[in-house]
Chain A
Amino acid sequence: MASEQQLDAIKGAKVLMVGAGGIGCELLKTLALSGFQDIHIIDMDTIEVSNLNRQFLFRQSHVGQSKAKVARDAVLKFRPHISITAHHANIKSSEFNVDFFKQFDVILNGLDNLGARRHVNRIRLAAGVPLVESGTTGFLGQVAVHVKDITECYECYPKPAPKSYPVCTITNTPSKFVHCIVWAKDLLFAKLFGDKNQDNDLNVRSSDGASSSEHVDDIFERKNDEDTDCYGRRIYDHVFGYNIELALSNDETWKNRTRPKPIYSRDVLSDNQQNGNLDQSCSSGDLASVSAMATLGLKNPQDVWNLAENSNVFLEALKLFFSKREKEIGSLAFDKDDQLAVEFVTAAANIRAASFGIPMHSLFEAKGIAGNIVHAVATTNAVVAGLIVIEAIKLLNKDLENVRMTFCNEHPKRKMLLMPVEPFEPNKSCFVCSTTPLTLEVNASRTKFRDFIEKIVRAKLGMNLPIVMQGTSLLYEVGDDLDEDEIRNYEANLEKVLCKLPSPVIGGTLVTVEDFHQQLSCEINIKQREDFDEEKEPDGMVLIGWLQVPTDTENKTSAQNGESTSGTGTDQAAPLEIAEIGETEVNAVSKKRNFSELSNSSVSHPSCGNDTKCKNKEIAFCTLLLRMAYEMAFFAFLLELRRRAFVGVQLPVAASISSARNQISSLPRSDLSMESG
């Protein structure tokens, strides 16, 4: 039990919890039981059915309501006299600025995505408030403590980049089921139901110019009076039949690969075989319940459908979109909670998989891959929440000596299921928590300012409201209070190449980039470089000092999903990765999960082989990626351990258990941090 002194610190503390999902529910309960009296909680999400198996403060009747508010009300039932303030809002919104953060003694993150974690990290650094960061994936979990100038910040060590696949793998040479899912979701689904004006690589084919572009544009368009059945079959035959035949005509591509088999609807289905009972089964009022599975009588989402079933689902789903949800066509984006969209994508991916000799998958599995669904169980969240509170209490007691980073292992490491390690020191050249400038290699006469803003400032530096200056000249800024002239000027700047900006950004100049909301400012030295490798440096720029995880698959690290709870819009993503630590050396043995394809391939920029027609552009299918667990504090952990091992510093965990215990038991009583009183 906590000592008197600890209890006083707990009672007097004001804490901010970010995220009221899987970890958040457990954390709020444990904080309240532990005696915390003033808790703020931020979460923009609402409750879904699939949360109920672990977010135990929520009930079926709460589906659709604010997580933060329902969680508060549920905890007040067993601790009615404490103060819990719920904010149903995005953590990135401007109300949660540095001053807001300053009122708290400690910040506790139960978040699910990299963007929100980075954002919180910056604001709490500016506010000078310590942070306990956490994440879980299945049975794996991690809790880390971040104290300004004392321990690493969340961004001191690299976070892996989102995974992407070369466009040619997706359009021409899929070899894994995930490639088929990406094709079905980001190309076919987007092409048929999404914004027609968006770039879509479904037009990119390995065939030569013979396929005229007008032909391509027409094919996906439904003709005015075309029957939906005919339209569906026409699309089917085009994408699974004709396109495959075209691809086959390029012998070069198939020299070392298995040739795919074109599939035409007439070969799979007899005429008029497809006959969902559309009219009886769907009441037009409830669009969310429109389902091809329901009309076709397919019940179990765990079943793997055969080719005919997939073909029926494909045609039926397409028909249902046109008959029941026509208004949405042209503006649909894939959503894992959209049953009909998941059915369509599953069927399309399976038919394509069949064509390429890749095993087909159930809707349940396909949904997990397409929606990048997090594996989550209540028990790991409960354990992690307990660990967070233990660290929070140490922070409140200023017991910085004893704060720890803890890993929850699935398999014991040297008998340990819960493995504490000492926190790491700040990275002296971290662009977030130090002032070390970054360097950007760029061809200033060729690179547009827009690319600099999008690919560097937003994507790599993670700024939401950036201001860019060269010398005293303002080149770019975002905000509500700009006048029209300013907006026009900044827009015009975006289209210019760097050396043509009003205040030219060329080799030898220094650019300052700031985000007022995050109170983060960093300087970038510009270095002129003429040429870039299109494959390895697709941005046409290289940012030095910003650490990117190597894309080498030999690292055997696996990107994992993490437990969800959203403080921001991107749901379901997450952190972490767990290291296995040997007695004397670090083994980065991956913890592979059966969610395999997504999780075990590191990002790569594989060459497109002989297929010269392939553009090297990558499909940025961020939805699939974003949520992935690139956080991998583990990586940081691993690198640091290697560094320490290299310089001969003793690893904290390598110390024998008995000697550690002896040290602890020989401490004077007052140092026993969890002493009861």
Chain B
Amino acid sequence: MDGDALTEQETALYDRQIRVWGADAQRRLSKAHVLVGGMKGTVAEVCKNIVLAGVGSLTLVDDSPVTEEALNANFLITPDEKLFAGRSIAEVCCDSLKDFNPMVHVSVEKGDLSSLSTDFFEKFDVIIVSNSSLSTKKAINEKCRKLSKRIAFYSVDCRDSCGEIFVDLQDHSCTKKQVNETFECRLQYPSFAEAIAVPWKNLPKRVSKLFFAMRVIEKFEESEARSSGEISLADLPNVLKLRKELCEAQLFNESQIPDSLLERLLLGKLEFPPVCAIIGGILGQEVIKAISCKGEPIKNFFYFDAMDGKGVIEDISNPNSAS
């Protein structure tokens, strides 16, 4: 491994986790730069996890003002107006995160995620997007892919008691350990646009219903020009109509996307904190895996639903177009 040894201070602070992933991984972490956009509860959890883990730097993007709703699942915001008045969510969260680990450089980038340039993204090793529209997710993912530097891209969202993580590591090599043997593995990822374009009827039968339901909701928000999460139960009839259209186009059975599930997703404007903790924990771990190249990462979707308690990985990639 290149680079300098960990300092005494780092070894003392990270003692327990070095025992899990080793000193090499810790060194790589300390050189990694992470960008996150959309500071809701789930992202607050992810940020906490990677700041504690000791990434090199973390940059936050979210210009929206602190509202009552923003406090819901976000423990990085103190509900004291004197402290947050006039400041953006990213600025307030930044202050809290700096406190978690003085060895990590946490900063704020002003502006809208979708307006940031490709050059800007080049500074990062990992980009996490949350609470964003379908087009923003696609656009940022494409910008990452255009760069010669390989950037890990994630999108994450929690609605109601359901969570979704999407992972694009492009072409990723890693080592994984299983029963005392170490294997090399190499994974090819489709982009977000490619993954959601895979014909539904080609997918294995047992793919999580959440995958389809999230696509319906995402599409609905885009067609109505709503921002992410700006929906309610009143939209149900139109959402059901869209489901019908999509399923017909995909030659897919509508019953695979139950009404009850769509209802829950429509209602779930506020995140459910235990699910934020779970999804934020899983994603935090994925970021650490991707940076350290240790452990087999998720390919390429992860779902958790508090209702059945399952946390499931789904591989949604077109076997023919895997490049």
Binding site for B on A (CB under 8 A): 1-2, 26, 29-30, 32-34, 49-50, 52-54, 56, 59-60, 75, 77-80, 138-139, 299-302, 364, 368, 373-383, 385-387, 389-390, 393, 404, 406, 408, 410-412, 415-420, 589-596, 600, 656-658, 660-661, 664-665, 669, 672-677
Per-residue contact bits, chain B 70-92, to A (CB 8 Å; 1 contact, 0 not) = 01110111110000000000000
Are A2 and B19 neighbours in the complex by a CB distance under 8 Å? Answer: no
Q: Among the listed A590, A664, A669, which residue makes an inter-chain contact with B308, where contact means beta carbons less than 8 Å apart?
A: A664
Q: Among the listed B267, B274, B313, which residue makes an inter-chain contact with A417, where contact means beta carbons less than 8 Å apart?
A: B313
Binding site for A on B (CB under 8 A): 5-6, 8, 11-23, 41, 45, 48-49, 52-54, 71-73, 75-79, 99-102, 160-161, 176-180, 205-206, 209, 258, 260-261, 264, 267-268, 270-278, 280-282, 284-285, 288, 295-296, 298, 302, 304-314
Are B49 and A665 neighbours in the complex by a CB distance under 8 Å? Answer: no
Please measure, in the bound complex, the distance between the C-alpha atom of A628 and the C-alpha atom of B98, giving whole angstroms: 35
**Complex contacts, A1 vs chain B, CB 8 Å:** 160-161, 267-268, 270-272
Knowing that A404-B309, A674-B160, A676-B267 touch, tell me 10 more A-B residue pairs with CB under 8 angstroms.
Answer: A53-B52, A378-B48, A389-B273, A417-B302, A591-B179, A665-B261, A673-B307, A674-B272, A676-B160, A676-B268
Please measure, in the bound complex, the distance between the C-alpha atom of A54 and the C-alpha atom of B14, giving whole angstroms: 9
**Complex contacts, A594 vs chain B, CB 8 Å:** 22, 177
A sample of 14 cross-chain residue pairs with beta-carbon separation below 8 angstroms, ordered by A number, consists of A1-B271, A52-B13, A78-B71, A78-B79, A302-B6, A364-B11, A377-B285, A378-B48, A379-B53, A385-B277, A389-B274, A412-B313, A592-B180, A594-B22
Q: Among the listed A53, A77, A380, which residue makes an inter-chain contact with B281, where contact means beta carbons less than 8 Å apart?
A: A380
Q: List 7 A-B pairs, minimum CB-CB distance, nearest first.
A: A418-B311, A386-B277, A420-B309, A382-B281, A33-B273, A383-B281, A386-B278
Q: Which residue of A lies closest to B23 (CB)?
A: A302
**Complex contacts, B307 vs chain A, CB 8 Å:** 664, 672-674
Q: Among the listed A2, A382, A412, which residue makes an inter-chain contact with B272, where contact means beta carbons less than 8 Å apart?
A: A2
Q: Which residue of A lies closest to B182 (CB)?
A: A594
Q: Which residue of A lies closest to B71 (CB)?
A: A78
Known contacts A375-B20, A382-B45; A29/B52 CB under 8 A: no
**Complex contacts, A377 vs chain B, CB 8 Å:** 16-17, 20-21, 53, 285
Please measure, in the bound complex, the distance between the C-alpha atom of A383 and the C-alpha atom of B302, giving whole angstroms: 14
Are B308 and A49 neighbours in the complex by a CB distance under 8 Å? Answer: no
Known contacts A386-B281, A672-B260; A378/B179 CB under 8 A: no
**Complex contacts, A382 vs chain B, CB 8 Å:** 45, 48-49, 277-278, 280-281, 284
Main secondary structure of the interface of A (DSSP, over half): mixed
Are A376 and B311 neighbours in the complex by a CB distance under 8 Å? Answer: no
Please measure, in the bound complex, the distance between the C-alpha atom of A92 and the C-alpha atom of B323, giving whole angstroms: 59
Q: Among the listed B76, B206, B260, B272, which residue makes an inter-chain contact with A669, where contact means beta carbons less than 8 Å apart?
A: B260
- Nearest CB in chain A: distance from B9 CB, A: 9
Please measure, in the bound complex, the distance between the C-alpha atom of A406 and the C-alpha atom of B310, giving whole angstroms: 9
Are A420 and B278 neighbours in the complex by a CB distance under 8 Å? Answer: no
Are A411 and B296 neighbours in the complex by a CB distance under 8 Å? Answer: yes
**Complex contacts, A302 vs chain B, CB 8 Å:** 5-6, 11, 23
Are A50 and B78 neighbours in the complex by a CB distance under 8 Å? Answer: no
Q: Which residue of B lies closest to A58 (CB)?
A: B100
Please measure, in the bound complex, the distance between the C-alpha atom of A278 and the C-alpha atom of B272, giving whole angstroms: 58
Are A376 and B48 neighbours in the complex by a CB distance under 8 Å? Answer: no
- Nearest CB in chain A: distance from B103 CB, A: 10
Q: Name which of A1, A593, A596 has the most chain B CB atoms within 10 A of its CB.
A: A1
**Complex contacts, B260 vs chain A, CB 8 Å:** 665, 669, 672
Q: Which residue of B lies closest to A80 (CB)?
A: B79
**Complex contacts, B5 vs chain A, CB 8 Å:** 300, 302
Please measure, in the bound complex, the distance between the C-alpha atom of A417 and the C-alpha atom of B310, giving whole angstroms: 8
Are A390 and B309 neighbours in the complex by a CB distance under 8 Å? Answer: yes
Please measure, in the bound complex, the distance between the C-alpha atom of A1 and the C-alpha atom of B264, giving whole angstroms: 9
Please measure, in the bound complex, the distance between the C-alpha atom of A381 and the C-alpha atom of B45, giving whole angstroms: 12
**Complex contacts, B161 vs chain A, CB 8 Å:** 1, 674, 676
- Nearest CB in chain B: distance from A597 CB, A: 12
- Nearest CB in chain B: distance from A215 CB, A: 42
Are A661 and B209 neighbours in the complex by a CB distance under 8 Å? Answer: yes
**Complex contacts, B17 vs chain A, CB 8 Å:** 53-54, 375-378
- Nearest CB in chain B: distance from A47 CB, A: 13
Q: Which residue of B lies closest to A77 (CB)?
A: B78
Please measure, in the bound complex, the distance between the C-alpha atom of A52 and the C-alpha atom of B41, giving whole angstroms: 22
Please measure, in the bound complex, the distance between the C-alpha atom of A30 and the C-alpha atom of B73, giving whole angstroms: 9
**Complex contacts, B79 vs chain A, CB 8 Å:** 78-80
Please measure, in the bound complex, the distance between the C-alpha atom of A669 and the C-alpha atom of B262, giving whole angstroms: 13
**Complex contacts, A139 vs chain B, CB 8 Å:** 20, 285, 295
**Complex contacts, B49 vs chain A, CB 8 Å:** 378-379, 382
Q: Which residue of A lies closest to B18 (CB)?
A: A364
Q: Name which of A26, A139, A408, A665 has the most chain B CB atoms within 10 A of its CB.
A: A665
**Complex contacts, A411 vs chain B, CB 8 Å:** 176, 178, 296
Known contacts A302-B5, A302-B23; A416/B311 CB under 8 A: yes
**Complex contacts, B209 vs chain A, CB 8 Å:** 661, 665
Are A676 and B264 neighbours in the complex by a CB distance under 8 Å? Answer: yes
Are A383 and B278 neighbours in the complex by a CB distance under 8 Å? Answer: yes
Are A420 and B308 neighbours in the complex by a CB distance under 8 Å? Answer: yes
Please measure, in the bound complex, the distance between the C-alpha atom of A304 and the C-alpha atom of B204, giving whole angstroms: 50
Please measure, in the bound complex, the distance between the C-alpha atom of A589 and the C-alpha atom of B178, giving whole angstroms: 10
Please measure, in the bound complex, the distance between the C-alpha atom of A596 and the C-alpha atom of B312, giving whole angstroms: 29
- Nearest CB in chain A: distance from B279 CB, A: 8
Q: Which residue of A lies closest to B48 (CB)?
A: A56
Q: Which residue of B lies closest to A673 (CB)?
A: B307
Are A376 and B281 neighbours in the complex by a CB distance under 8 Å? Answer: no
**Complex contacts, A418 vs chain B, CB 8 Å:** 278, 304, 309-312
**Complex contacts, A419 vs chain B, CB 8 Å:** 310-311
Q: Among the listed B23, B41, B274, B296, which residue makes an inter-chain contact with A390, where contact means beta carbons less than 8 Å apart?
A: B274
Are A54 and B268 neighbours in the complex by a CB distance under 8 Å? Answer: no
Known contacts A49-B12, A656-B206; A379/B282 CB under 8 A: yes
Known contacts A665-B261, A672-B307; A373/B16 CB under 8 A: yes
Are B12 and A50 neighbours in the complex by a CB distance under 8 Å? Answer: yes
Please measure, in the bound complex, the distance between the C-alpha atom of A404 and the C-alpha atom of B307, giving whole angstroms: 11
Please measure, in the bound complex, the distance between the C-alpha atom of A601 and the C-alpha atom of B72, giving whole angstroms: 47
Are A589 and B75 neighbours in the complex by a CB distance under 8 Å? Answer: no
**Complex contacts, A675 vs chain B, CB 8 Å:** 264
Known contacts A29-B75, A30-B277, A49-B13; A373/B178 CB under 8 A: no
Please measure, in the bound complex, the distance between the C-alpha atom of A665 and the C-alpha atom of B270, giving whole angstroms: 22
Q: Which residue of A lies closest to B266 (CB)?
A: A676
Known contacts A53-B54, A378-B49, A657-B206; A417/B309 CB under 8 A: no
Q: Among the listed A26, A299, A408, A669, which residue makes an inter-chain contact with B277, where contact means beta carbons less than 8 Å apart?
A: A26
Please measure, in the bound complex, the distance between the C-alpha atom of A72 and the C-alpha atom of B284, giving whole angstroms: 25
**Complex contacts, A415 vs chain B, CB 8 Å:** 312-314
**Complex contacts, A374 vs chain B, CB 8 Å:** 16
Please measure, in the bound complex, the distance between the C-alpha atom of A596 and the C-alpha atom of B282, giving whole angstroms: 25
**Complex contacts, A676 vs chain B, CB 8 Å:** 160-161, 264, 267-268
Please measure, in the bound complex, the distance between the C-alpha atom of A78 and the C-alpha atom of B71, giving whole angstroms: 9
Please measure, in the bound complex, the distance between the C-alpha atom of A140 and the C-alpha atom of B302, giving whole angstroms: 17
Known contacts A420-B310, A674-B161; A379/B285 CB under 8 A: yes
Q: Name which of B41, B305, B307 has the most chain A CB atoms within 10 A of its CB.
A: B307
Are B15 and A417 neighbours in the complex by a CB distance under 8 Å? Answer: no
- Nearest CB in chain A: distance from B67 CB, A: 15
**Complex contacts, A77 vs chain B, CB 8 Å:** 78
Q: Among the listed B22, B270, B284, which residue makes an inter-chain contact with A378, where contact means beta carbons less than 8 Å apart?
A: B284
Q: Among the listed B13, B73, B268, which residue makes an inter-chain contact with A50, where contact means beta carbons less than 8 Å apart?
A: B13
**Complex contacts, B20 vs chain A, CB 8 Å:** 138-139, 375-377, 593
Known contacts A592-B180, A658-B206; A416/B310 CB under 8 A: yes
**Complex contacts, B313 vs chain A, CB 8 Å:** 412, 415-417
Q: Which residue of A lies closest to B99 (CB)?
A: A59
Q: Among the listed B52, B54, B206, B275, which residue makes an inter-chain contact with A386, where contact means beta carbons less than 8 Å apart?
A: B275
Are B19 and A658 neighbours in the complex by a CB distance under 8 Å? Answer: no
**Complex contacts, B18 vs chain A, CB 8 Å:** 364
Known contacts A78-B77, A378-B284, A382-B49; A53/B15 CB under 8 A: yes
**Complex contacts, B13 vs chain A, CB 8 Å:** 49-50, 52-53
